[in-house]
Each structure stands twice: as structure tokens, then as C-alpha cells.
Amino acid sequence: MSNDPQSPARPETPAAPNRALDIGRDIVRERFFFFLVLALLAVLTWLLIWPNLTAILTALALVVIIKPLYNWFLRRKWIAGKTTRATVVTLLAFIFLIALPIVLFIWMATAQATALLTDPLTGNLIAVDRLSVRFAEIMAQVSAQEVGEFDLVAIAGQLQETVAALGSWLGEALVQVGGWLVQFFVGVVIVLVIMMVLLPRFETPQQDQMAVLIPFPPDITNLYLEKIQLMIVAMFKGTFVLAILQGLAMGVVLFIAGVPYVFFLTVASMVLALLPMIGISLLAWPIGILLILYGQVWQGVFVILAFILLVANIDTVLRPVLVPKGAYLNPALVMLSVFGGLRLMGLIGVIYGPVIMILLVTSIEVYAKYIMRSDLEPFLAEDGSLDLEKLGLREKEGERNKTGSLYQVMQRAGGLLSRKQDTE
């Protein structure tokens, strides 16, 4: 290196910028690889849990529903505040007081359904020959004309063939139930394990815990979480509990009327009660009419009147008591979400279908009341109304109309909003 002071010095290489660029590339490469692996693991995990998704969703819903029972046990002196003991007692109470009675009831109903199918004429409920005779007697009483033109024998034959075909289809369905027993047992084990793990740990998430995952203001985050829990509880109480109560009431009515296969018809009433608006009427009216045609007039009239005056009003009286006000959803939306949930997720979809629907409704309300109002805040007048002059949609007094086209108006509004954000 020359010591001549007049010799020009070599320019130094910009090592620092190159080093920073290399570090930035390494960070981008690491992040890309990390999120690629994370996405792959998420897909594999989804494939693993997909076959048991119904059991997982059922367990989550049951945890939300029976958490108050767990808290009640946890406060008892003989539990001594031990979470493990409270969890075991809660699960035992759930199994022996709720799950097993339901299983036994369904088993008895299945046995009666099997007996119903073994009768060629479906037992005493639908005796086609006697029903045809009774139909002819009624036609003779209400009309002076000849009823010979009605081929009652052909009608009875067609009805008998229809009943036989229906019985064959139901018989095949009952055979398939045996193949579902193993899958049902696995699902029960998964539900119990998830409930045992989550019951002591499930708490309403706090604002600071959810702020990391949901970039909403705390009030909006809590609104979503509250709607989810309220709708799960509301659909359980307002759907399953009411369906069980209505089905039991209908079963008592049928028992008093002397209708056979009461257990089967009671379970069928519970299932039909899950359908909004229509419900048990699909069963009560046909049974009442068949009893009248069968010759048991007072029994048929009793079934119809008891359904109208008692069973149908259970929903009207108890729903306001059982369903929280914050979980209100339009009946039309409830019906659409229930049927859609049943088709998409099975029986558990009765709960999660309305949950998804109320989240959509809540999102629309949040947009209308929070997001859109926040965006329009710079253009609001003192009384809270929209100031059209600030938006450029109305000319000021004494000035020419400078609003221009809609595109220019939107440009002007966007510019005002951008300047406000820059100043903040």
C-alpha cells in the first residue's frame, strides 16, 4: 500500500447493507420453511381428526353444557376442591343419570320397532283389512251415492305393499345399526376422554388471552365468545331438552289412548320434535286420524286434542325460560341452519348449525354498528347523522356544485380518510 498522501483512497465495500440483506433472506427462508411445515402438519392433523370430528364436536358441546354441574360438584365439601374427583363424579353423574337412561330407552324403542316390522300388517296400529271396512262404512254414512266405484281391495293391497316395502327398508337399516356399534363405542371413548381432559380446564377465555389470536377490540372478541356459548346452551336446552319433554308428553298421551309400541313412538316423537315448526304434528295427526278410522273414536280425538292443547304448547311455555335472550335467532334462520347442520354434520349439526348462523348474523351486526361506523366517523355530524357535505354529496350554501361523478366523490372521501389516518 502506498504511503503517498496524494494517492486516492480505495472506496470501502458496503459490507453492512449486504450483510443485512443476507440476514433478511435467511429470515424469509426460515419463515417460509416454517409455515410450509406448519401447513403440512395442519393438513395431516385434519386428516387424522376428520373421522372422529363428530365425536370431538359432541365432546366440546357437552363440556360447555355440563360445566355448571362440574362447578357445583367442585364446591361441595366432600370434593375438597380436587378437580380430578369433581371430574370423575361429574362424568359418572352424566353417564348414569343421562346417557344410560337414553341408551336403554332407545334400546327398548328399537325392540318395539323390530316387533312392529315382524307383523305383516304392522300389528294393531294399521290393520289394513279392518281399515278398509271402516273406510267403506264412513263413505256410506257421509254420502248416499254408491261407493262401489272405489276399489277398496286394490287400495288395501297397495297400502299393504307400501307397508311391506317400508318394513323391508327399516329392516335393512336395523341390520346396518349392528355395523355402527364399533364406531359408536370408539366415539363414546373419545367423547369421555375429551370431556375428562377439558372439564377442569375449560373456562371462558379472557380478553388478554384471546387478543393474541383475534385482532379485534376486547368488546367485539367477548361478543363473539359469548354468542358461541349462549347458542350452544340455547340449542341444547331449546332443542334437545324441549324435544325430550315433548316426546315424553306425547308418549304419555299415546299410552293413555292405548296405542301400542309406545316406546318406539315416543322416541320417534322426540326425533320429530327436533324439526322446527312441524315437529310432532307429523306423528300426532296421522295416529289420531287412524284411530278414528279404526273405530277408536274417543282415543283418536283425545290424541289430537292432547297434542294441540298440551304437547304443542310445551315449546311455547318453556322456550322463553330455557333459551337465553342473547341467543335469539330468527325462526327461519334456525330452521335453515338446523337442516343444513343435520345434513352436513349429522345430529350434532343441530347445535353447531345455528352456532355458525348466529356468528354470521353477529358479524353483520358488528360490521354495521362498529366497522362501518368507524370508517364513516370523519364524515359524521355533531348529532351523529352522516354529513353529506363532508362526503361531497351535497354542495355547501353559496357554493357551486362541485360533487362531480360518483368516482370523484369516493376519491374525495378516501382522501379525507387517508389524511385523518396520517395525522393520527
Q: What does the pLDDT look like over 278-319, one tens digit per residue?
A: 788 888 888 888 888 888 889 889 999 999 999 888 888 888
Of the two residues 100 and 141, the one the predictor is more confident about is 100
Distance (Å, whole) CA 4 – CA 6: 5
Cell of 3: 504511503
Question: Rounded to 5 degrees, what are φ and ψ at 386?
Answer: -80, 125
- Helices (H) and strands (E) counted in the chain, each on its own, are 18, 0
Q: Please check whether residue 394 is in contact with residue 388, taking contact to mean a CB–CB distance below 8 angstroms.
A: yes
Burial 91-103 (b: 16+ CB within 10 A, else e): bebbeeeebeeee
Could you read off the pLDDT of 123-151 as tens digits, one per residue? 444 444 555 555 556 555 555 444 444 45
C-alpha cell at 22: 443476507
Distance, in Å, from the CA atom of 387 to the CA atom of 41, rounded to the nearest integer, reads: 51
Residue whose C-alpha cell is 289420531 = 288
* Percentage of the chain modeled with pLDDT above 90: 7
Is the pLDDT reported for residue 417 higher than 70? no
Sketch the domain layout of the chain as residue ranges.
376-423
Half-sphere exposure of 303 (CA within 13 A, CB side): 27
Supply 105's cell numbers: 330407552
Q: What is the pLDDT of residue 303?
A: 92
Q: What's the number of CA atoms in the CB half-sphere (13 Å) around residue 184?
A: 7
Write the CA distances from 280 to 12, 27, 101, 283, 331, integer angstroms.
88, 63, 22, 5, 17
Torsion of CA 73, 78, 79, 82, to 10 degrees: 160
Would you say 63 and 198 are in contact if contact means Cβ atoms under 8 Å apart?
yes
CB atoms within 10 A of CB 178: 8
pLDDT digits (tens, 9 = 90+) for 204-250: 554 455 555 666 666 777 777 778 878 888 878 877 888 889 999 99
pLDDT band at residue 253 using 50, 70 and 90 as cut-offs = very high
More confident residue, 140 or 326: 326
- The residue type found at 369 is K
Interhelix angle 152-198/128-142, rounded to 10 degrees, is 120
pLDDT value at 7 more than 80: no
- Give the tens place of pLDDT for each residue, 367-396: 777 776 666 666 666 665 655 565 554 555
What's the predicted TM-score (pTM) here?
0.58
Q: Closest Cα to residue 301, out of 288, 313, 282?
A: 288
* Residue-level pLDDT at 402: 46
Does the pLDDT value for residue 332 go beyond 60? yes
| CA–CA gap between residue 216 and residue 8 (Å, rounded) | 60
With a CB cutoff of 8 Å and minimum separation 6, the contacts of 209 are: none
319 near 279, Cβ under 8 Å? no
**With 0-12 CB in 10 A as exposed, 13-18 as middle and 19+ as buried, what is 325?**
exposed
Share of the chain above pLDDT 70, in %: 62
How confident is the model over 95-110, as a mean pLDDT?
82
Residue 102: CA count within 13 A, CB half-sphere: 13
